[in-house]
Structure 1
Amino acid sequence: MNKLIELEWRKLQRKKVFGELIVYWVILMFLPVFFLKVVLAESPLVEFGNSYTDALSLMLPIQMGFVLFGASLINHVFIEEYKNKTMTLSFGYPISRKTLVMAKVQFIFLAVFLCTMISFVLAGITTYVFDRFIDVIDGKPSMADLMNFTVRTIIHSAVVALASLIPLFPFGIWRRAVIPTVICAVFLIQLHNLLGLLRITLNQDVLYAVLSVLGAASVYLAVKTINQLGDV
């Protein structure tokens, strides 16, 4: 399995993907400060700047932006290979299709997971540095805040990685369509805000648990039906 995952890494258009990745990192590392200092500064009902614990509640949905990166990887790893007919070649290997799909899925999961973790660290450092100069968050981070940030970084990175796989079955393998995959990812990123506009109150952790289950279900369906969906 490790060799198959490594093969996916070698086949990837790395310069293109790294360029896209850098854009995500740069934007998301400054977004928490931008929201605290500009967007939410004049809102008396917003309490994200009251402490580092409250600020973390703002950072979690911001890092959902990497769901879009997962959609991009689905395009590179699945959709483009179907369109270029290289998927048919891959299915000709003396390895089961289900094993090949699982290798591709694991590659996407690990890539999104690790990149989201790095983004969390970059955003955390940037927010702390800016806070020292322009005072966007009240107080200083405690050891408990740092431990909470570390735990939430790991858990939420896994959530983002699973959520990014939700478009895999319906749009990556079944329909093999790029635009619906991207639209689905954008919808997932904005889901928390859309629920707020509809006055639907849903605990953030419950929402992320549901997204994780949907991502796992999409993977299950993709692996389960890969032999029936054809090569083209």
Structure 2
Amino acid sequence: MLHLIKLELKKGRMTGYLWGSLITYGVILGFLILIYMVEGPVQEEPIFQSNAEMLGLIDTLIRATFIIYASVLLSKLVIGEFQNKTIALLFAYPVSRKKLLLAKLSMVFIWTLANVIIANFIIGTIFLTLNANFGYVQGTVTSGLLINHGISIVTQAIAAAGMSLLPLTIGMRKKSVPATIITSVLIVVIVCSNNMGFSLSSIIAIPLSLSALGIMLTFLSIRNIDRIDVA
């Protein structure tokens, strides 16, 4: 499996996606800094009530962004190849089709998981440092807060990585890149949107259940791939 992932990384020229992730970090950071600097001085109704709320919003925005980002990866690595029939060339190799697809999907899962964790660490650290200087968000950053947030980040990152596979079922059925991306946007709207301070993702059982569903549906989508004519 690792060998197949390495081959796919070379074939797919993932350096472009690495730069894409870094640019995405910058865009998210810039957007949040703009909100912080514009709304921060307004003390009547501050946008962030506490450090925990600030870190939580950062995490939510990062997860939403990379779930959609993952659908672009799914489109390039899987759906697009089925749509253009180029997957038939790959399937001509004496390797199990299921293993080839699992290698591609493992890349999407790991990519999403890693980016959610790394982006949270980088952007969260920058914001805590920024707030230490400007002090728009009141409250002390305790070790307990950081530990709890760290656990939440890892748990939510695993959930986001699993949810990022959910659009595959629709994409494979329709053989459509737009359908894959639109499905991921709908998932983000339903799970990550904030309504009067409440988000479905705050109930950890919901994103974890959707993650498990994403993994299960992925398996069901490719279980008979060895017997499907893709030519």
Q: Which TM-score bucket, shorter chain as reference? A: 0.7 to 0.9
* Residues 37-58 of structure 1 deviation map (CA, whole Å, 9 limit, x = unaligned): 5469869788x73332232332
CA shift at 1:10, angstroms?
1.0
Show the 5 A alignment for 1:145-224: 145-171=145-171, 173-192=172-191, 196=195, 202=200, 204-224=203-223
* Letter aligned with residue 127 of structure 1: F
* Letter aligned with residue 4 of structure 1: L
Report the equivalent of 1:230: 229
Query: Which secondary structure state, in structure 2, belongs to the residue aligned with residue 196 of structure 1?
Result: coil
* Residues 40-83 of structure 1 deviation map (CA, whole Å, 9 limit, x = unaligned): 9869788x733322323322321221001110110111123224
CA shift at 1:214, angstroms?
2.7
CA shift at 1:222, angstroms?
1.9
Does structure 2 conserve the Cα–Cα contact (< 8 Å) formed by 1:110 and 1:161?
yes
Report the equivalent of 1:130: 130
Query: Which secondary structure state, in structure 1, belongs to the residue aligned with residue 137 of structure 2?
Result: coil
* Residues 142-180 of structure 1 deviation map (CA, whole Å, 9 limit, x = unaligned): 111121222122111111111111101221x22221111
Provide structure 1 residue ranges, at least 5 long, that are not aligned to the other structure.
none
State the distance in 2 between where 1:109 and 1:227 align: 22
State the distance in 2 between where 1:205 and 1:39 align: 29
Report the equivalent of 1:52: 51
Compute the TM-score of the two structures, normalised by the length of structure 2. Answer: 0.84
* Letter aligned with residue 69 of structure 1: Y
Compute the TM-score of the two structures, normalised by the length of structure 1. Answer: 0.84
CA shift at 1:231, angstroms?
1.3
Query: Which secondary structure state, in structure 1, belongs to the residue aligned with residue 118 of structure 2?
Result: helix
Does structure 1 conserve the Cα–Cα contact (< 8 Å) formed by 2:77 and 2:104?
yes
Equivalenced residues, count? 229
Show the 5 A alignment for 1:1-12: 1-12=1-12
Worse-superposed segment, 68-77 or 82-91: 82-91
* Letter aligned with residue 144 of structure 2: A
* Residues 2-61 of structure 1 deviation map (CA, whole Å, 9 limit, x = unaligned): 101111111113343234222321122344444455469869788x73332232332232
State the distance in 1 between where 2:185 and 2:39 align: 20
Worse-superposed segment, 28-37 or 90-99: 28-37
Provide structure 2 residue ranges, at least 5 long, that are not aligned to the other structure.
none
Return closer, same or farther for 1:58/1:218 CA change in 2, 3 Å cut-off: same
Report the equivalent of 1:79: 79
Does structure 1 conserve the Cα–Cα contact (< 8 Å) formed by 2:40 and 2:136?
no
State the distance in 1 between where 2:25 and 2:230 align: 35
Worse-superposed segment, 181-190 or 200-209: 200-209
Does structure 1 conserve the Cα–Cα contact (< 8 Å) formed by 2:159 and 2:207?
yes
Query: Which secondary structure state, in structure 1, belongs to the residue aligned with residue 226 of structure 2?
Result: coil
Alpha-carbon RMSD: 2.8
* Residues 97-131 of structure 1 deviation map (CA, whole Å, 9 limit, x = unaligned): 11111111111111111112111112111211221
